[in-house]
Amino acid sequence: MENVTGEGISDQIERFQTQLQMDGRGRKHRILMVSDFFFPNFGGVESHIYYLSQCLLKLGHKVIVMTHAYGNRSGVRYVTGGLKVYYVPWKPFLMQNTLPTLFLTFPIVRTILIREKISVVHGHQAFSTLCHEALMHARTMGYKVVFTDHSLYGFADAGSIHMNKVLQFTLADIDQAICVSHTSKENTVLRSGISPEKVFMVPNAVDTAMFTPSPDRLSCDEIVIVVISRLVYRKGADLLVEVIPEVCRLFPKVRFIVGGDGPKRVRIEEMREKFSLQDRVEMLGAVPHAQVRSVLISEAFCIAILEAASCGLLTVSTRVGGVPEVLPDDMVVLAEPAPEDMVRAVRKAIDMLPGIDPQVMHLRMKKLYSWDDVAKRTEIVYDRAMRSPQTDLLERLPRCGAWAGKLFCLVMIINYLLWCLLEYLQPTEGIEEVPDIRPVHARLESVDDTCETQGKGI
């Protein structure tokens, strides 16, 4: 399997870049990032796309982001560092996803690809309909495509079965794929049937310049547990309903701050009323990413992974998915996703608090996670994608199933005919190409510059 991870990764990156320079294949890419999830919406995928794009710009690549419109934010916008964003005039209909149309997005995707002279299309998140459609259109036009899977999914429930079938279709003709953990890689390979040799493991990172420890040593006279997450079932919000009353009963000096919004917020508020914990459980609602640090560093304890650890805070989390891969054992307390074990983990973490040095933990996080390092690893994936051979899609799609394979073949045939029609109605020569504008902070003479855009807002 091809993994961009493990010890000596800096040496591996340097050797690979030297090899590319020697064989003449080292090149600057023109990348189109596509996803339904981007700013002004807040979340892990949104932050990942933003910081990765900023660091790729720093390395000298051209990066364009394509997402759907958010409220009145439609059209072309420029954000920090000269990052260009296309907010296409499609409105979300469910959980920030656009309505699946299959073919209606083809004209605008084709126009952006031609106008921006794109060489690589990079889609993000398995349940982004805009991502799946853009990758399909790009492959029809012969572009190289890369896909990043940010989440884990099951195999048994109806929703997962349908999503896995769509993922099989999308990844049937993918050039390279990226997963954010080894567990995620195994999950994606099993769900989609993609060859493991095409899947790279590139972890997420944290902006350590934004998430720094409090300069004052926090007192343990009052311990505050901070939970910042989307309040949905898959994030474990139901566990909070059972864990919070028990922890408050066992530890009188503990109080909770819950940041985030979602359908499970009502259950947590009902629990707070039932056990009369209004003075010990504070509900913040949705917290903008720029304000997360101010919530974290004002408390002595929290439940959040990378951002909390970067702030020098001890972390408690469930032992699910790729979570055990994120931090060393002395920086996180893991528990099974059961209320009793979560309470045990919280008790253990409270006992460990006096021995935690926030500054030492922050320095360790700076060495462990860097968006600049993530960008260099992703750059290797792009280089591999550009060198991957062309494949016959119509031969690979039938592997998706006896009936689904035939249906997917029909979809691709219609998509190809639509492309031919678009070429006839508006030839490529008639689409004006956008002149390249050098980003304000770009330093094209060096690919080893540290990404200095971390910590800057939009």
Contact 321, 340 (CB under 8 A): no
Chain centroid to CA 335: how far? Answer: 24
pLDDT at 401: 67
pLDDT at 452: 46
Query: pLDDT of 350-409, one tens digit each?
Result: 888 888 889 999 999 999 999 999 999 999 999 999 998 876 666 666 666 667 778 888
Taking the C-alpha atoms of residue 438 and residue 84, their distance in angstroms, rounded to an integer, is 11
**Residue 162: which pLDDT band, with cuts at 50, 70 and 90?**
confident
Contact 30, 61 (CB under 8 A): yes
Taking the C-alpha atoms of residue 234 and residue 148, their distance in angstroms, rounded to an integer, is 19
**Residue 13: which pLDDT band, with cuts at 50, 70 and 90?**
low
pLDDT at 56: 96
Taking the C-alpha atoms of residue 332 and residue 326, their distance in angstroms, rounded to an integer, is 9
Mean of the per-residue pLDDT values of the chain: 84
- Percent with pLDDT over 70 in the chain: 83
Query: pLDDT of 267-316, one tens digit each?
Result: 999 999 999 999 999 998 877 766 665 555 444 333 358 888 998 888 88
For 223-368, CATH gives: 3.40.50.2000
Query: pLDDT of 100-149, one tens digit each?
Result: 988 999 999 999 999 999 999 999 999 899 999 999 999 999 999 999 99
pLDDT at 2: 46
Domain with CATH 3.40.50.2000 in the chain: 27-205+377-430, 223-368
Q: Which amino acid is at 369?
A: Y
- Inter-residue long-range contacts of 247-254, CB under 8 Å, 24+ positions, other chains counted: 247/343, 247/346, 248/275, 248/277, 248/280, 248/281, 250/343, 250/347, 251/223, 251/347, 251/350, 253/221, 253/222, 253/223, 254/222, 254/223, 254/224, 254/225, 254/280, 254/350
Contact 439, 81 (CB under 8 A): yes
Is it true that the peptide bond before 398 is cis, omega within 30 degrees of 0? no
pLDDT at 400: 64
Query: pLDDT of 219-265, one tens digit each?
Result: 667 888 888 887 888 778 889 999 999 999 999 999 999 988 888 99
Lowest mean pLDDT among 28-42, 152-166, 348-362: 152-166
Q: Which amino acid is at 447?
A: V
Average pLDDT over residues 202-214: 88
pLDDT at 237: 85
pLDDT at 60: 92
Query: pLDDT of 426-448, one tens digit each?
Result: 999 999 999 887 665 544 443 44
Question: Rounded to 10 degrees, what is the CA torsion of 333, 234, 206, 79?
Answer: -160
pTM: 0.81
Residue 81 has pLDDT above 70, yes or no: yes
Structural tokens at position 96: 């920030």
**What is 27-205+377-430's CATH topology?**
Rossmann fold (3.40.50)
pLDDT at 117: 95
pLDDT at 300: 34
Beta strands in 150-300 (DSSP E): 176-179, 199-201, 223-228, 254-259, 281-285
Helix axes 158-171, 129-140, angle to 10 degrees: 20
